[in-house]
Chain A
Amino acid sequence: MRNRFLKQAGFSVALGMVMAQGAMAQAPDKVQSPDWTGVWRLKGSPAVMDREDGRSFVAGTRDHPPYNAEWEKRYTRDLVRGEHQGDANFPDPIVDTHTVFCAAGMPHLMGTPFDYEFVVTPAKTWIVADKETRHIYTDGRKFLPDDERWPTLLGTSIGHWENQTLVVETVSMRSDVWADTTPVMFSDKMRITERIRRMDANTLENQMTIADPVAFTKPWTFTKHYTLMKKGTWVSEPEKCGGPEDRNPIVNGRVISVMPGVK
């Protein structure tokens, strides 16, 4: 009798362990996480988000977000102000926010010349570029309520897998951060949807859609690509700004160049 009880108890414990293991194996996602290891670099130019060519900081270089009239007017005005950010004689320049924060923020971070790493696990994916790290939760969690979130450079991201495509939703980004080297900005209602997949052995594709019911007349969609660097590539040292070595400080709202011996 006692032996039978012990056998039943042992069976129950073993069954419980198997069930627990089974539950852990299924959670949080049933998909097999793809291998995106390696160092990746943006294909094409980082000048603007909605094209893969273009030249940074050249007059006339611009994106074409589907702004409404009010926001298009603001963007057109800010383009000129941004082109004069180093001009001591221009009355009202603005400095690009990558200089201000020494960080790209979102969505800019996905269109830089920095080295990218995609660290994929079932419950979470990290995207690392320069000194910024995106945390993308794929464990099934939902966004916190509005009153428990606040705008940040990279926003808050959750994701899920559709076969081998990582679908990422990002909210709560700062509205005053440029989307690239031009002053594309958004309202605090903006939301980014990314569909990231491996097109072939050497290419990752990120189809980005930005919705902004305040600034846009329709969603803005564009695609960025990243090329896999050869095995053994070292990740670049992060760029650091604002220290004593920085010869391009912001003075009186303008980016200046410090020239030794020149007044």
Chain B
Amino acid sequence: MIKRLVLVGLIGLAMALFTAPMLAHHSFAAFDLSKTVTLVGVVKEFQWLNPHSWIQLMVTDSNGKEMEWSIETSSPSGLSRQGWKPKSLKPGDHITVTMHPMRDGKPGGSLVTTTLADGTKIGGSPVGDAKE
């Protein structure tokens, strides 16, 4: 069901320039913006909430252990401006996300990209619209 957890490593300069976090109700200091992690998993819940929305993703690591990850995104209004809808993700959806992981090692991060199983990408970068 759930396949892998891959640490991609340092993000490139382009990403550093073009994925500036939106003004949020809090800073992104809890996330390590110098790293990008790719997760493949199954959506448990998509929380379309103010001030920030969250993806709860079930991920199984290479040892077969399943873990729930919390991936923080932008506000509903911020997401909608980038093409997201409240039901863009449904429980059971197989997705691949890239995210900046939490500094403290907890299973969470700040969303960068989201790709459905058929390769469809949802919206732009929900945490960055620095270039309009």
Contacts and interface: CB of A to CB of B under 8 A. Distances in A.
Interface in A134-191: 181
Contacts of A98: 23-26
A127 to B, nearest CB: 16
A70 B26 CA distance: 27
A84 B29 contact: yes
A200 interface: no
A238 to B, nearest CB: 7
Contacts of A6: none
Contact of A239 (B47, B70, B72, B75): B75
Contacts of A102: 25, 51
B51 A54 contact: no
A18 interface: no
B18 to A, nearest CB: 9
Given A58-B33, A227-B132, A245-B50, A47 B20 contact: yes
A125 interface: no
A45 B20 contact: yes
A86 interface: yes
A95 B78 CA distance: 22
A215 to B, nearest CB: 23
Interface residues on A, range: 35 or more
Given A84-B29, A99-B25, A248-B26, A259 B77 contact: no
Nearest to A258: B70
Given A54-B130, A55-B130, A246-B25, 11 more contacts: A47-B20, A53-B130, A55-B21, A98-B26, A237-B50, A240-B50, A245-B50, A247-B70, A255-B27, A259-B70, A262-B108
Interface of B: 16-17, 19-30, 33, 47, 49-52, 54, 56, 68, 70, 72, 75-78, 80-81, 102-104, 106-108, 129-132
13 contacts: A53-B130, A83-B29, A85-B29, A87-B30, A102-B25, A113-B23, A113-B78, A237-B76, A238-B77, A246-B49, A255-B27, A255-B30, A257-B72
